[in-house]
Structure 1
Amino acid sequence: MPLPRQPIWLFDLDNTLHDASRHAFPTIDAAMTGFIADALQLPDADASTLRVAYWHRYGATLLGLIRHHPHVDPRHFLAHSHPLDVLTRSVHPMPGLARTLARLPGRKYLFTNGPHDYAEAMLAALGISHHFAGVFSIESARYAPKPQARAYRTLLRQWQLDPRRCVLVEDTAANLKPARRLGIATVLIRKGTRRSVWADWQVPHLAALAGRWSHRR
């Protein structure tokens, strides 16, 4: 699939724009476990096991809670599991983040499975809010996360985007499949030689993206 000449960029957040594994994910996982333990009256070990099981089965712990524990308020879960004061205390932008975003022409949107307040807070903490025309979060699709096709269709409809002009940039290969089926070009950030059939392009790190775009145009 050719890269659009005037692309509209759809960027994932965690482990795409910043290294979430270093601080954000451990913080979120611990907060989710604590919430589940309190809400379901479980020991911490059982709550952690359930958190991981729902994530593997449904693609998001939240979906398991919605399906099996309807008394849990999704908004409370998201707010509790993303303590913004702790999360923004230590941020780890990908090398060349600001420079790469500045070099890529065209509108940019954030497309994340995280909650809206977290996404906005992280963009601000990373100093890149001004690069983005909008944020599409887990709430935007009524709690349908990537790779559910409904999330992608809702995003395109919300901002009236032509999928043939869009480029999705992701670190998770499974999230590229629905995009490709909708006609969205895809970029996978992954080191090594293992390829994904759903990636139009693969780059080892975010900073390589601007050079790849310049070469192809």
Structure 2
Amino acid sequence: MPNINRSAPVWLFDLDNTLHNASHAIFPAITANMNAYIARVLGDGGTPASDAAVNAARSAYWRRYGATLLGMVKHHQVAAADFLRQTHAMDDLASMIRAERGLAQLLRRLPGRKILLTNAPQRYSRDVMRHLGLQRHFSHHVAIEAMQVHRQLRPKPSGLMLRRLLRRQGLRAGRCILVEDTLANLRSAKALGLRTVWITQYLRMADPIGMAGLPKTLNRPAYVDVKVKSVRHLPARMQRLR
């Protein structure tokens, strides 16, 4: 049952490279799928676009829109659902997942309810959570398909999306803690008044959807309240999040 204690924190957990090691095999697979997808779209109908053209498009759309997906939708009339389905298609997802032991016990130790907030699609994130055995520890599962404002996709780090989520959940920003590997998302959340936790242990490959690159340094920025290697260290750092 969800925790109804109004003074308890509400945790907003990212999924990839936060609750599991997506850099191990999943991000490389998504990147390969995404490159092939973009090459087909940018090609001439017979010959796929070159690697250089694919990389240039990804980089340009990330800089302009904050996500490769948004640029593909806007400039190439790609259906977001098709893009997400094909880029996250994996033959044996279970064998690709790497995660620490004891995550369920860790989540039980953290006071307050938990919401999954992921830029990954619903089906993929549901399957990962099922393999991790963590679904029942989360009161809500917010995937990228639900991140819409005025019928437009607004994934993290959108401040508009975060404000809308908090309003729908009836939450004050100061009561919420975002746990993430991506600094751009943490910066946006901190600007709205959320507390922020940066998870660093899986930062070997950036989110291939294009939301942010790898940080140049692992020094803790001012907008990060707590920096930890693993979510398993959160109970010991609770004092810093009060």
TM over 0.5, shorter chain: yes
| Partner of residue 145 from structure 2, selected from 135, 139, 142 | 139
* Residue 39 of structure 2: aligned partner: 37
CA contact (8 A) 1:115 1:137 kept: yes
Give yes or no for the alignment of 1:128 onto 2:134. yes
Summarize deviations over 1:3-44 as a string: whole Å, max 9, x none: x95110000111110111011111111111122222332335
Aligned to 2:204: none
SS at match of 2:165: helix
Once the two structures are aligned, what percentage of the paired residues are identical? Answer: 43
For structure 2, the residue ranges without an aligned partner over 5 or more in a row are: 1-5, 202-216
Cα deviation, residue 96, structure 1: 3.9
Aligned partner of residue 234 in structure 2, secondary structure: helix
Give the AA of the match of 1:51.
R
Counterparts of residues 21-60 of structure 1 (less than 5 Å):
21-41=23-43, 42-43=48-49, 45=51, 46-60=53-67
Q: Distance in 1 between matches of 2:239 and 2:220?
A: 22
Q: Does 1:171 align with 2:173?
A: no
Write the distance in 2 (CA, Å) between the matches of 1:86 and 1:49.
30
Residue by residue over 1:38-75, the C-alpha shift from the partner in whole angstroms, topping out at 9 and shown as x without a partner, is 233233523354334433443211011022112x1111
Q: Is the 8 A contact 2:226 2:241 kept in 1?
A: no
Whether 2:69 is the aligned partner of 1:62: answer: yes
* AA matched with 1:122: V
* Aligned CA distance change for structure 1 residues 89 and 198 (closer, same or farther; 3 Å): same
User: How big is the shift at 1:162?
Assistant: 2.1
55-64 or 14-23: which moved more? 55-64
User: Structure 1: which 5+ runs fail to align?
Assistant: none
Name the structure 2 match of 1:162: 172
**Aligned residues: CA RMSD:** 2.3
Tell me which amino acid in the other structure corresponds to 1:7: P
1:79 counterpart SS class = helix
TM-score normalised by L of structure 2: 0.79
Q: Evaluate the alpha carbon distance shift between residue 58 and residue 181 of structure 1 in structure 2; reply closer, same or farther with a 3 A threshold.
A: same
TM-score scaled to structure 1, two decimals?
A: 0.87
Give deviations 1:73-122, integer Å, cap 9, x for gaps: 11111111111543333211145422321211211001111111111111
Which residue identity lines up with residue 174 of structure 2 in the other structure? Answer: R
Instruction: Indicate how the Cα distance of structure 1 residues 216 and 159 shifts in structure 2: closer, same or farther if over 3 A, else same.
Output: closer
